[in-house]
Structure 1
Amino acid sequence: MKIILANRYLYPDESATSRMTSSLAFTLARRGFSVQGLTSRQFHDNRDRRLSSREMANGIAIHRLATSGFGRNRLWGRALDYITFHFSAVLWVLRNVEAGDVCVVCTDPPLLSVTLSLPLKLKRARMVNWLHDLFPEVALELSVVRKGWAGRVALAMRDWSLRGALCNVAPIDQMARYLERRRIPKGSLAVVHHWSDGAAIQPIPRNQNRLRRDWGLDDAFVVGYSGNFGRAHEFDTILAAAARLKHRDDIRFLLIGGGHKRAAVEAEIRAQGLDNIVLKPLQPRELLAESLGVADVHLVSLLPPLEPFVIPSKFYGILAAGRPTLFIGDPNGEIGDILERHDCGHAVAIGDSETLAGHILHLRESPERVIELSANARRLFEIDYTEDRGCSAWTKLLSRFLPSATAGAILSQAEAVAPINERSRP
């Protein structure tokens, strides 16, 4: 029996879902599973680069499918990339999957579980869905798909594919509860939180961070945003807070990354003359700890209607870096609740730039409080969101599908098998 992880991007791509899925694949291989990856030949941020069709990496065989390569800049191009991946994935499954295999199907491209459900059944293989995000809900809330018959059909088909799966793994409790309300069988739902690499991302003192020096931020109090400038995120509140604080020479905003809204954010910065904002491109993996460590406090944003459907993965890297979070979104949502319960940041509502600026000013004037929040953030990470904990939960889940002797041997290899946070057992 082999484990196949299907996601449009895998190692060496640096997108959020690629890092998460690759982390799980490599860990499962180290723990004795036979693991393969099913992905595309593309990089998420560079449509001109192509990877080889097959590669062995860290004990897993990565199969890269031929797809179109229009990239993410236009919806029609992205749609064609999705469609060609779906088509190639079906052909690959029919040719290569064997009876008893387990396919962990991710949510990039959207609705991949719908496409692969029947081919996997035909091959007498089993499907486990890893719901990084929920589609079509995200597309419906962002008006990428209209809330008419097409949306209803997409929802019905997605729900059908989840009901036929062995297990559906959500990253947050809110998502699992939402799926219960959609009559996905409670026994098929599990919650395994996302994680980050706490060995690679560790707190770096300000005076030891090379990027702070290189970027001329040595003496400033830095408010950072790192990651995707996507449709699910909100930047007007951040820019308004920066405008309120533009007179403060000792406070700088640092925005790192790219994506759909990056150009609009840059245009607004120029229009308002926000010289207190520094823009940098997405940094390579080997600089991730330093780039996250540049900021004294990090910004995370999420549009409130998307709360049950998306969890910003950047949050776990911020916790690993030992930095407080200022969350712009629903203060009563998943991240807002975590920040309040564990005292590692603050949440403000969309549009409340005055409160956001107030929190920044308070932290600028209270270095002891920043140290306290930072320590709480890293402590929370080490308790709940380490790579070992998340992968151990997956090890336990997938071991159920192995012969008992093999499962016992694999579980014994896990250094510390964390109890899976499940709604119930499938």
Structure 2
Amino acid sequence: MAPKQRRVFLVNRYFHPDTSATSQIASDLAGFLAEQGWEVIAITGAGRYDEPTCRLDPDAVLPGVAIHRVGPVTEASSSLLRRAGVALAVHAALAVEVCRCARAGDIVVVKTDPPLLSVSLLPVVLARRLRQVNWLQDVYPEVAAELGLKAGKGLLGGILRRLRNASLRHAVMNVAVGERMKAKITGFGVPAARVTVLSNWCNDRSIVPAGGEPSRLRRDWGLQDKFVIGYSGNLGRAHEIDTLIGAARLLRDEPGIAFLFIGNGYLTPYLKRAVAEHRLGAMFYFQPYQDAGALPQSLTVPDIHWLSLNPHLEGLIVPSKFYGIAAAGKPMIAVMAPDGEISDLVRRSDCGAVIVPGDSAGFAATVRQWCGRPDLLAEKGRNARALIESGLDRRSSLHAWQTLLLSVAGPPKS
């Protein structure tokens, strides 16, 4: 007789070998559960985050995980209406595939990309009697409303909220990535017993503090004699960059200071225009997204990292790039609400500075102070790494996830 297994589905638009943040942590969890003897099926889209018009290799595999790629990809130069149509088609394709493959009692871990995916899957979950676990990386439609998008407001926004709340209340568990997000979710009328907090993570075994030798990338990018303030990843609508631009203007006459941006995103063209308008080109260096294998090196290039979040989005989004920065043993300047999720971590661990959005002078003063204090940077970097090793490491997070899934699972399937 074949051994009994518990089955779990992970549903997200992006998955291995895509290198976006949501893809990496979903792929990490899938691979870990497969190693632990679970039957794991990933239901995912066909495209890539950084190149949405390109299809991933349909034959790409993750050991022990069955990957089902469905739905269309965005066409080059497509209109807003066309992109909306693609998003709806992805929702439908993911839901249909779960309906086709899942059976009563299976666990379905539903992420939030595309937004409101839990709403699309709820009819399938009810019809097939599945155990839905919502893994919330962000909270829509509230994020859309705060960013000024019409879909998050008015009658449509109200309807989407009611549907979203129904999908949260029906789930056997909702996983928030921060305490403030948990408070938001319980505020929607979701029973507190069905909301828990499990933080995101990074691959802290490969992302480690650098030794004393200068990074090869630092040399290749012409930064070996610079004091580098760095950013890595998607620079999206949720971020606040005017404070950084103001600080750069105040630091323009300081010798050897450089701002490095690795990645791309919605706000990147705005940043480049501001750099040109204020004649800051000599201070700014731009590099494209790096391959996942280069991340351990690229994260160690900056002397300090900058990360930010629009204060109106506190409790709706938690910047996951914090974990990679901390694992690399790098101090950080967090431009965020002073009572925010990441701000609290930075202060408690003494791994950086928290700057109130709009305080460009404070940002510049911090850079000036840290520029001449390698001992201070080293201490804050050690504190950052120690925070990861105190229970925010990848292995601890994956074991916490397995414990959670076992607590909501039914009996193993034969």
State if a TM-score over 0.5 links the two structures. Answer: yes
Aligned to 1:351: 358
Structure 2: how far apart are the matches of 1:364 and 1:177? 38
2:189 to 156, 173, 183: 183
- How far apart are residue 50 of structure 1 and its match? 1.0
**2:303 is aligned with 1:308:** no
Quote the residue 1:85 is aligned against. 90
Contact 2:206 2:296 in 1 (8 A): yes
State, as a whole percentage, how many aligned pairs show the same letter: 39
In 2, Cα distance between equivalents of 1:227 and 1:155: 29
Matched, 1:212 2:218: yes
Cα distance in 1 between the residues matched to 2:375 and 2:393: 26
User: Is 1:36 the equivalent of 2:41?
Assistant: yes
Establish whether residue 159 from structure 1 lines up as the match of residue 165 from structure 2.
Answer: yes
Q: Alpha carbons of 1:368 and 1:72: their partners in 2 closer, same or farther (altered >3 Å)?
A: farther
The match for 1:295 among 302, 305, 309 is: 302
Partner-residue secondary structure (3-state), 2:299: helix
Distance 1:74 1:250, change over 3 A: farther
C-alpha separation between the residues in 2 aligned to 1:76 and 1:327?
A: 36
Residues 402/9 of structure 1: CA separation in 2 closer, same or farther (3 Å cut): same
Q: Secondary structure at the match of 2:254?
A: coil
- Does residue 1:26 correspond to 2:31, yes or no? yes
Partners of 2:85 and 2:309 in 1: how far apart?
A: 27
Q: What is the count of residue pairs matched by the alignment?
A: 406
| Residues 372-383 of structure 1: pairs in structure 2 closer than 5 A | 372-383=379-390
> What does 1:246-257 correspond to in 2, within 5 Å?
246-257=252-263
3-state SS of 1:293 partner: coil
8 A Cα contact 2:237 2:266, kept in partner: yes
Partner secondary structure for residue 332 of structure 1: coil
Displacement, 1:336?
1.0
Measured against aligned partners, the alpha-carbon deviations of 1:127-166 in whole angstroms (never above 9, x if no partner) come to 1000011111111110113521111111111001000001
Distance of aligned partners of 1:286 and 1:265 in 2 relative to their CA distance in 1, 3 Å threshold: same
- The structure 1 segments of at least 4 consecutive aligned residues displaced by more than 3 Å after TM superposition are 52-56, 70-78, 401-404
1:94 aligns with 2:99: yes
Query: Partners of 2:61 and 2:96 in 1: how far apart?
Result: 21
**Helix, strand or coil: the match of 1:49?**
coil
Matches within 5 A, 1:11-410: 11-53=16-58, 55-70=60-75, 75-144=80-149, 145-205=151-211, 207-274=213-280, 275-402=282-409
- In structure 2, how many angstroms separate the alpha carbons of the residues matched to 1:375 and 1:195? 18
Which whole-Å CA distance do the structure 1 matches of 2:258 and 2:332 have between them?
A: 16
Return the alpha-carbon distance in structure 1 between the equivalents of residues 356 and 147 of structure 2: 19
**TM-score by structure 2 length?**
0.94
- The alpha-carbon deviation at position 72 of structure 1 amounts to 9.8
Does the aligned pair in 1 maintain the 2:105–2:410 contact within 8 Å?
A: no
**Counterpart residue type for residue 4 of structure 1:** F
Aligned counterparts of 1:197 and 1:403: Cα–Cα separation in 2: 30
Residue 71 of structure 1: CA displacement?
7.0
Aligned CA-pair RMSD? 1.7
Unaligned runs of 5+ in 2: 1-5
| 1:215, distance to aligned residue in structure 2 (A) | 0.8
Name the CA distance, whole Å, in 1 between partners of 2:206 and 2:287: 21
